[in-house]
Amino acid sequence: MKFSCFHPTTTPIQVDFVKSLLSEMRHHQHGAVDAYLKPMLQRDFISLLPGAGLDHLAEDILGRLDAESLRLVFHLKKKK
């Protein structure tokens, strides 16, 4: 199903529309949406920041992590 009226609207209107859809859905449907969104939300956005001229932001984010969290980030990055 395509929503041709969805794309030309503003972000707040799109978000309100999706919230409205979600409020009408059943629990098992929420699970399907969660499974679809989870990979999108778990992407490595920090490695994209330097390419956008935002290396200072990447450094700030990583600088706020404790040693154990930094170690985990490093090992997760090596697996990809």
**Token output for 43:** 């992407």
Model pTM greater than 0.85?
Answer: no
**What would the pLDDT profile of 8-56 be if each residue is shown by its tens digit?**
888 899 999 999 999 999 999 999 999 999 887 777 788 888 888 999 9
Give the integer Cα–Cα distance in Å for 37 and 46: 18
How high is the pLDDT of residue 42? 74
Cα distance between the two ends of the chain: 33
Contact call for residues 77 and 47 (beta carbons, < 8 A): yes
Give the integer Cα–Cα distance in Å for 26 and 47: 36
Give the integer Cα–Cα distance in Å for 57 and 35: 29
Report domain extents, the chain: 1-42, 44-80
